Amino acid sequence: MRLDRIDITILDTLQTDGRISNAALAERAGLSQSACSRRLDALEKAGIIRGYHARISNTALGHQMTAIVHISLSGQFEKTLSDFESAVKRCPNILSCHLMSGEYDYILRIAAKDLADYERIHKEWLTALPHVTKINSSFALREIIDRVALGLRPEMA
């Protein structure tokens, strides 16, 4: 799907205010409400808009620690990757998981209450993941940026 300036305006607006009413979004995009709804449907069907959700503060919920975990597997065979990815999806503390090129196979971002909680996650989840040969953990001292919004510009259309 090729995006035009109106699509960019809609996406940019939704990234900063996902709760905006269709009427307000239509006004901002210079469309009628029905045309705006059709645009949203098209963006959703094309997979450009993947969903709508609330951003919840891990810190406010007591998860004061973020761990960045590098994982090495015994190989990169399809079954090995599939087994690992199925298992990693079940751990509720894993916020993101990325298949990587380079020295490690995966990088995980994990939320933990404190060091003791991370130790529990490590024992109960990480060491139980299939095909893992190496786990290397680092702990974030401070979050500098955590973007959820892509910087959309009109020239992207």
Q: How many residues does the chain have?
A: 157
Nearest to 10 by CA among 145, 33, 146: 33
Q: Which residues contact 151 (CB under 8 A, 6 or more apart)?
A: none
Q: Where are the domains of the chain?
A: 5-54, 65-139
May I ask the CATH class of domain 65-139? alpha beta
- The model's pLDDT over 4-25, given as tens digits with 9 standing for 90+, comes to 999 999 999 999 899 999 999 9
Q: Give the Cα separation of 113 and 62 in Å (integer).
A: 6
Give the whole-angstrom CA distance, residue 27 versus residue 36: 9
Confidence band, pLDDT 50/70/90 cuts, at residue 150: confident
Please give the order of strands across the beta sheet that includes 132-139: 94-99, 106-112, 65-73, 132-139
Give the CATH number of domain 5-54.
1.10.10.10
pLDDT at site 149: 75
Say whether pLDDT at 110 is over 60.
yes
Tokens representing 17 are 């205010």
